Structure 1
Amino acid sequence: MHSLTVKLSLLALAGSIAALVVWTVSSPAITDLPETVVIEPGPYTYRPAGNYRYYGKLVEAPLEQLVAEAPLEIMKFQVSRAEYAACVADGACKASVVTQGGSPNSATMPQTEVNWYDATAYAAWFSRQTGLHWRLPDDREWQRAAAERFVEEAIVAEAEDDPAQRWLQAYARNVAARDGDEAELKPRGAFGENSHGLFDLAGNVWEWTNTCVANTNLSDDGAKPLVQQEYCGAHIAEGKHRAIVIDLVRNPKVGGCAAGLPADYVGFRLVLVR
């Protein structure tokens, strides 16, 4: 009888421990989630990033007409300094040279001076803390979310075969797109919202994506990729124009842009995968 009582007590204790473990795992540390916007399924256009060649000649990437079958949920604002500081305080993110303090608006400033690894580390930490799956958007998703804020690059004349001249033309386009830029960093929301209700897209903070730099050879019809080589030591950062930024770089203005005109600042926002 005594043995049976002990066994029942042990079973009850084991059940309590199991219940405690389940509660601990399922109870998120962060329940106050950032505002998100859900972009409904539907048609959109996408021009891929990277260098495209047709029979060895550098050409513009083909414009794709696509239909999204699933909704896209993405942060309404870029990750702020205060939000990133919580990850740093928890030991999961590396401290940035840009910290809270000073200006009264500092906490609401977008977090900049973060590289691609910093952004992905924050996404992993935030996923653990909320019990949800957060990640950087890929370039396709960012363009879909940006809608009219995406800056479509003008087509360079196909007769222009000199890569150096094409590069100079692209550089000049990007300079023109940024004419009248305000270099001063501003609090989140300062650059307004787009038609989807997302703020600060194509402001002066570019945003990291999960899209690697790619070199693509087109097939005979000039439309479909025949061979594609990715280099993931640099990723696409989207803003007033596309920028290719080396993954380790936190400040693209000091030589960290792999090609073209560098971004003013680089930050990020995350996609929520449900």
Structure 2
Amino acid sequence: MPTTGTVLRNHYKIIKILGSGGFGDTYLAVDLDLPNQPQCVVKHLKPNSDPAVLQIVRRLFDSEAQVLYRLGNDSDQIPRLFAHFEEQGQFYLVQEFVDGEDLSYEVIPGQKLTQIAVTKLLEEILEILAVVHKKNIIHRDIKPQNLMRRRQDGKIVLIDFGAVKEVNTVMVNSQGQTSVSVTIGSLGYMPSEQAGGQPKLSSDVYAVGMLAIQALTGLQPHELPKDPTDGEVIWRNWANVTEKLALVLNKMVSYHFRDRYPSAVEALEALKLSTPQQRQSTPTITTPTIQTPPPTKIISPNWSRRKVIQTVGFAGAGLGLAIVLPRFWQSDSGETTPTSRPASTPEITRFASNLKTFQFETVIVNAQGNITNRRNEQANYFEEDLGNGVTLDMVQIPGGTFTMGSPEGEAERDKDESPQHQVKVPGFFMGKYEITQAQYQAIMGTNPAKFQGDGRPVEQVSWDNAVEFCQKLSQKTGKNYRLPSEAKWEYACRAGTTTPFYFGETITTDLVNYDGNFRYGSAPKGEYRQQTTNLGKFPPNSFGLYDMHGNVWEWCQDVYNDNYTGAPTDGTPWLSGKDNNIKLLRGGGWIYDAGGCRSADRLSFAHASRAYHVGFRVMAVALA
């Protein structure tokens, strides 16, 4: 056990102990190798000496460290991890020191906070937790002591991610195999599934909800009674809140995880929609008309190879398939050159007699988000009549080969975007826009969308709903409609580009509907619309597809796998994985940050899940 004055790795000098618990101790230290010797926090983990436990703890320790490294780069409200190492069977984490006080100084037993104060606190916590949940990471120990109010700027900082701190019980089965019981969480904030060793993102939502109820009632979670018939928390008798906020909190702390918000993202959205400020800021929704932007004069700069690659791709958001857009071939000199002759396939030939042409303008931005180039393009499409004046535009996508996934140097990338690999994609047709509410109503007879408007994308649709839509659309039209494979989706989104976005190195809220509070790279912050937008509002990519970045996440056929090892290389969907019920989403949404809208970004979701930021678009191939 380190003592005051101990120097670890000839680098970190222990100043004093900050706290002690069953998992180990926490110390204040200084970094001797850096100028001014800045303060840091050293966490000393003391695992059981059993060799089987040590082996498992070592694995969990390394895994947890990787999580902390990732998260520390995503937000300044998560302490950065500076180092992790093992010495003499002991494990150490070195993290950024947060100067402030935890929320136990604000959420005090016996004292009630006002609804306004609790709503603000709840929003602050959910905003930072949403960053964590977007990475599919579960914190597992949300409580006042693990939420710090930073003195410097008053922001809340989420601390104490610890998958290894509560490793305790060794179990040996009849075959002599050793396993370890892992229990992480705190009494009262931990829901039943987490206590049973199966935490989920919604388990964190439960903990945040209990913290808010504690602040409203002045009662600690373990002091609140529960309904003996269904296990639901009884708390309304001790709090004075509006019905709307009560409904949000009740859903957050539902006994069964299936009845809660799936993650902090959805909980935050519901909270904002429940407040008077949000209702006042939501504009009246009218039925929009989708229009094709008029052609404008082409600016013809001196084209470098980089500019040629960027100009080939950039999309807005929508359903539509472009057929005549440029295909690319590699010249002997290494230049990527467009050609107007798309690959011919049976699918393209089948629809060729009904094709029309539309014109559109694409734009390219620099690293600061400024438009540096505009270009007129055109694409082929066919129009599907769905009845009652509702149509569906399907754009022809030429076949080609592209590099799927993101390079290691791309900002905000995740490990599941690796390894990069070549995929050969045959030609196909894809929706010019995301499926609209009018189109969904025409085929399914219902409109489940939260943000109503015929020309807005349909949302709150599950993967199962989207598949059923494709089946009914196929029956109605005699064509073969389906969800795109993940590979075809990324190919269609990139439209020949290799940059993070088809607009170039970054995006702005003038081009994409996303949470403008979070910028990408050197681009400025922008507008946060807090809802979907009409399709066709933003510029398309070079294939003529709109809203491939932002607006709503789009379902793909594929089962989610956490990397591309073994992925198909012919454009077909990957239909097997660790859990076939977990499907793939692409494109980002209005509630997500810019990094989540990248061409390579991926999101996993249970096939039956629905959310205000999840929709889909369709692709088509000819029936045999």
> Common fold, TM-score beyond 0.5?
yes
How do residues 25-36 of structure 1 correspond to structure 2 at under 5 angstroms? 30=386, 34-36=392-394
CA contact (8 A) 2:483 2:618 kept: yes
How do residues 137-152 of structure 1 correspond to structure 2 at under 5 angstroms? 137-147=484-494, 152=500
Task: Give the counterpart of 2:603 among 243, 247, 258.
Answer: 243
CA contact (8 A) 2:538 2:547 kept: yes
Evaluate the alpha carbon distance shift between residue 271 and residue 233 of structure 1 in structure 2; reply closer, same or farther with a 3 A threshold: same
Q: Deviations over 1:65-109 (max 9, x none)?
A: 2333x21210101111011112232xxxx6515385xxxxx1111
Aligned residue for 2:484, secondary structure, equals: coil
How do residues 1-274 of structure 1 correspond to structure 2 at under 5 angstroms? 30=386, 34-47=392-405, 61-68=418-425, 70-89=426-445, 95-98=447-450, 106-147=453-494, 152=500, 176-177=519-520, 180=526, 181-215=528-562, 229-239=577-587, 240=597, 241-251=601-611, 265-274=613-622
CA contact (8 A) 1:45 1:63 kept: yes
Distance 1:29 1:137 in 2: 21
Aligned residue for 2:429, secondary structure, equals: strand
Distance 2:491 2:564 in 1: 24
Aligned residue for 1:86, secondary structure, equals: helix
How big is the shift at 1:60? 5.8
Gaps of 5+ in 1: 1-27, 49-57, 101-105, 154-174, 220-227, 253-264
Distance 1:216 1:136 in 2: 21
CA contact (8 A) 2:417 2:564 kept: no
Amino acid at match of 1:248: A
Amino acid at match of 2:602: R
Distance 2:394 2:610 in 1: 25
Amino acid at match of 1:108: G
Evaluate the alpha carbon distance shift between residue 59 and residue 66 of structure 1 in structure 2; reply closer, same or farther with a 3 A threshold: closer
Evaluate the alpha carbon distance shift between residue 229 and residue 121 of structure 1 in structure 2; reply closer, same or farther with a 3 A threshold: closer
CA contact (8 A) 1:215 1:230 kept: no
Distance 1:217 1:43 in 2: 16
How big is the shift at 1:43? 2.1
How big is the shift at 1:176? 4.9
How big is the shift at 1:41? 1.6
Distance 2:546 2:493 in 1: 9
Evaluate the alpha carbon distance shift between residue 124 and residue 182 of structure 1 in structure 2; reply closer, same or farther with a 3 A threshold: same
Amino acid at match of 2:432: K
Distance 1:150 1:120 in 2: 30
CA contact (8 A) 2:432 2:546 kept: yes
Distance 1:184 1:96 in 2: 15
Evaluate the alpha carbon distance shift between residue 146 and residue 59 of structure 1 in structure 2; reply closer, same or farther with a 3 A threshold: closer
Amino acid at match of 1:98: K
Identical residues among aligned pairs (%):
25
Distance 1:117 1:244 in 2: 14
Partner residue of 1:14? none
How big is the shift at 1:37? 1.4
Evaluate the alpha carbon distance shift between residue 73 and residue 85 of structure 1 in structure 2; reply closer, same or farther with a 3 A threshold: same
How big is the shift at 1:218? 5.5
Q: Deviations over 1:244-268 (max 9, x none)?
A: 112111116xxxxxxxxxxxx1111
TM-score (norm 2): 0.27
Distance 2:499 2:583 in 1: 18
Distance 2:550 2:473 in 1: 25
Partner residue of 2:234? none
Distance 2:548 2:609 in 1: 21
How big is the shift at 1:44? 1.1
Amino acid at match of 1:238: R
Amino acid at match of 1:250: R
Amino acid at match of 2:424: V
Distance 1:84 1:199 in 2: 18
Partner residue of 1:9? none
Distance 2:418 2:485 in 1: 17
Distance 2:586 2:385 in 1: 31
Gaps of 5+ in 2: 1-383, 407-414, 502-517, 567-575, 588-596
Evaluate the alpha carbon distance shift between residue 210 and residue 197 of structure 1 in structure 2; reply closer, same or farther with a 3 A threshold: same
How big is the shift at 1:38? 1.2
Distance 2:498 2:465 in 1: 25
Q: Which one has a bigger Cα radius of gyration?
A: 2
Aligned residue for 2:614, secondary structure, equals: strand
Evaluate the alpha carbon distance shift between residue 185 and residue 99 of structure 1 in structure 2; reply closer, same or farther with a 3 A threshold: closer
How big is the shift at 1:34? 1.5
TM-score (norm 1): 0.59
How big is the shift at 1:215? 4.5
Amino acid at match of 2:419: P
Amino acid at match of 1:273: V
How big is the shift at 1:191? 2.7
